[in-house]
Amino acid sequence: MEFYLDCYACFVRQTINAARHAGCDDPVQHKIMIKVLELLQNLDPETTPPHVAKAVHGIIREYSNNPDPYKEAKARCTRAAMELYDDLKAMVAASDDPLGTALRLAIAGNIIDLGVSDEHEDLWHTVDRVLAQDYAVDDEGLLRREMEKADHILYLGDNAGETVFDRVLIETMEKPVVYAVRGRPVLNDAIMEDAIAAGLDKVATLIDNGADAPGTILSLCKPEFVEAFNEAPVIIAKGQGNYETLNNAGPKVFCLLQIKCPVIERDMGAPMGGIILRQSTAL
Binding site for a copy of itself (CB under 8 A): 5-6, 8-9, 12-13, 15-16, 26, 29-30, 33-34, 37-38, 40-41
Q: Dihedral, CA atoms, 204, 206, 211, 217, nearest 10 degrees? A: -30
Find the shortest distance in angstroms from Cβ 240 to a copy of itself: 19
Smallest separation, CB 5 to a copy of itself (Å) = 5
Instruction: Pick the closer one to a copy of itself by CB: 10 or 255.
Output: 10
Residue whose CB is less far from a copy of itself, 14 or 216: 14
β-pair partners for 279? 254
Closest contact distance (angstroms) between CB of 117 and a copy of itself is: 14
In the bound complex, what is the minimum distance in angstroms from residue 168's beta carbon to a copy of itself? 36
Sheet with 253-258, strands from edge to edge, namely 135-138, 275-279, 253-258, 234-238, 153-156, 177-181, 205-208
**CB within 8 A of 34, min separation 6: which ones?**
none
For a copy of itself, the closer of residues 23 and 67 by Cβ is 23
Query: What is the crossing angle of helices 162-173 and 85-93, to 10°?
Result: 30
Q: How far apart are CA 202 and CA 73, in angstroms?
A: 23
Closest to a copy of itself by CB, 33 or 226: 33
CB of 196 to a copy of itself, least distance (A): 36
Identity of the residue numbered 154: L
Q: Would you say 10 or 108 has its CB closer to a copy of itself?
A: 10
